[in-house]
Chains A and B, each alone.
Chain A
Amino acid sequence: MIKGTEVYYVKNEEWQKFLKQTLTKYCLYAPGKGLVEPEYRIFGPEEDLSQIVYGGARTTQPLKFFIYPPREKVSPDQPSSDEKTIILGVKACDLKALSVLDKIFLDPDFPDPFYQKRRENTILISDDCTEPKESCFCILLGGNPFPEEGFDLNLSFLPARPAGGNKGILVEVGSKKGKDLLEEYKIPLLPAEENHLKMRQEKREKVIGKLKKINKDFKFPQDPLTLTKGKYDSPVWSEVSEDCVGCAACTNICPACHCFLLAEVLTTKFEKERYWDSCQYTGFARVAAGANPRKKLMERFRNRFYCKLEHKPENFELLACTGCGRCIEACQGKIDIREVLTKVARSKE
């Protein structure tokens, strides 16, 4: 066992059996075969769990959908659902992003009861990223394509040795919640052997190699604080925001963006709903009397970068960009955040 971590070897068929058993109590969301690529689906007790897609890359849908839904009634209702949920197949980039949301919504001064309840009732079973996408760049922001923290359980699939033999999984325990789940269903846990860990390491390094290849053309400092410092008034922001149309796809799809609109429902009962909102919209920061600190599209575009790369690190010591690359895929102006960061790095103050 690696120092400080708890890793077990589990036979593939035992894992399948275990997962099936959990369905009596837990609602399971996992990536299943989609039209183009794997998509999150609910797997009920009657469903074929062999349809679950393990490994691969992060799904298009960010993890925040499950804990912080796009639209939710928050008054006068209290959180009611006690539904226990397992979310399977979460990748490292999304776990990191969730830690940013945790800072906001679990702020001890004002914990958000809706988020808190869902977070408490959710078990996160992550797995290693094995096929990064062309838009993936976690390693350029100090991340790794395999989860290191923030999960309840993490799965690393090992190749069958000898070929055609039993497939196995390395299950790493990340929390008491994860450990309890394993014990609840008495899954047979075998000690992880040295060669298992070696295989996992080799697989992980291979993925890092892929990511390096994908991102060979992008260069910016690993510490983004030095990247944006002093560049606020640089003309580079006008240049890099040229193709932005302010549609907010980037912030909606971002696993770490948390801003919302608290809106009144048209009744007399103090009903309030919150919807995901975006700092990219013109009126986002506008006050009633008309003052608006970010009237220009460039200013709103720049705001997103400063929020993610400077303000969140200053406040929480966490970057609010984890290199998942979803914004690259979602952008209709074909703006690639890696190109933006490369240009900003090259620009003068």
Chain B
Amino acid sequence: MKNPYLPIEAKIEKVIAETPNIKTFVLKPKEEIPFATGQFVEITVPGIGEAPFTPSSSPYLKEKIEITIMDVGRVTNKLHQMAAGEIVGIRGPYGKGYPLDKMYGKEVLILGGGVGMAPLRSFLLALLEEADKFKRIVLCYGAKTPEDIVYKGQFVEWVKDKNLEVYRSVDKADSKWKETEGVVTVLLDKFKMNLENSVAIVCGPPIMMKFGTKRVLELGHRPENIYLSMEKNMSCGVGKCGHCALGRFYVCKDGPVFSYEQIKETPEIWD
């Protein structure tokens, strides 16, 4: 009988500093962990604790998994002190990812904020693998300052990618910043989408999720075509421990990706 609580050992191959408080960990698990983009895994720091993360790497990358982690709590703080060669545990993948099949032939809007770009990078990389299947891909990303932007090197490539339109903003610009200054939602006024044939994917900190979703709705995107990656306290990952309850749903099993239509009547979604 499979024990769902037992992690697989994974070696930290590389640690990439993204911002002053965000690092990407390249992990090589002992066994491959195939996942669908948007699904999450539980990472164990032995003797310290466990926390849920959505991989930021492409689901097409098989033997390695990349996890982008902000230093915010006990487990992530310990992770930030770890270096290449050290061992962590990994369980998963869990939950429901992004329904790519429902997005074929459509215009795809990706709206991300801060470290919320992590699952969106995985999603974007999955889209770019079969870019011809999507009518259009637009990425809007916002961070606090230019320094807080993740995947800085990769953005340089994305901007050049003819399959992708990229818009970026920072809340507070510095002298070198030539792009938009302001909250990420202002980027949405810079282009028009065919709302009859589009989907919007939103991921970021709670406040950005709330206002991002609100703005996307105001622009006319339909609730059933808006996908949110919900952050709750997913602990067991298998729908038992109750910590990630969101109304009648468990985010770990029923999510973490929900359509806005699914949860719009549920209280507490932005808290």
Contact = CB atoms under 8 A, between A and B. Distances in A.
B77 to A, nearest CB: 9
A112 B268 contact: no
B232 A287 contact: yes
A258 B3 contact: no
Nearest to B269: A293
A113 B75 contact: no
A307 interface: yes
A279 interface: yes
Interface residues of A, number: 51
B251 to A, nearest CB: 10
Contacts of A269: 46
A262 interface: yes
B242 A260 contact: yes
Given A107-B239, A264-B50, A288-B72, A79 B1 contact: yes
B87 to A, nearest CB: 9
Interface in B222-253: 231-233, 235-236, 238-248, 253
Given A264-B48, A270-B44, A314-B248, A287 B231 contact: yes
B271 A293 contact: yes
A290 B89 CA distance: 24
A74 B241 contact: no
A267 B46 CA distance: 7
A252 to B, nearest CB: 13
A26 B246 CA distance: 42
A277 interface: yes
Contacts of A290: 72
B266 to A, nearest CB: 10
B46 A270 contact: yes
Interface in A62-113: 74-76, 78-79, 104-105, 107, 109-113
Give the interface SS of chain B, mostly helix, strand, loop or mixed. loop
Interface string B189-206: 000000000000000011
B74 interface: yes
B4 A112 contact: yes
A265 B9 CA distance: 16
Contact of B233 (A116, A265, A286, A303): A286
B153 interface: no
Nearest to A79: B1
A310 interface: yes
B169 interface: no
Given A262-B235, A265-B47, A294-B268, A289 B205 contact: yes
A262 B253 contact: no
B3 A74 contact: yes
Contact of A288 (B2, B4, B74): B74
Contacts, number: 127
Give the interface SS of chain A, mostly helix, strand, loop or mixed. loop
B159 interface: no
A268 B253 CA distance: 28
Interface string A290-324: 11111000000001001100110011000000000
Nearest to B239: A107
A116 B268 CA distance: 33
Contact of A105 (B70, B231, B240, B267): B240
A185 interface: no
B268 to A, nearest CB: 4
Nearest to B271: A293
Interface string A239-275: 0000000000000000000111111111111101010
A262 B268 contact: no
Nearest to A278: B242
B60 interface: no
B236 to A, nearest CB: 5
**Which one of A76, A113, A262 has the greatest number of beta carbons of chain B within 10 Å?**
A262
25 contacts: A74-B5, A75-B3, A78-B3, A107-B239, A109-B239, A113-B3, A259-B241, A262-B236, A262-B241, A263-B49, A264-B45, A266-B47, A267-B47, A270-B6, A272-B50, A274-B236, A284-B233, A284-B243, A287-B232, A289-B70, A291-B206, A293-B232, A306-B247, A307-B245, A311-B245
Interface of B: 1-7, 9, 44-51, 70, 72-76, 89, 205-206, 231-233, 235-236, 238-248, 253, 267-268, 271
Given A262-B50, A270-B6, 9 more contacts: A78-B3, A104-B239, A110-B238, A112-B238, A261-B235, A272-B44, A284-B243, A285-B243, A306-B247
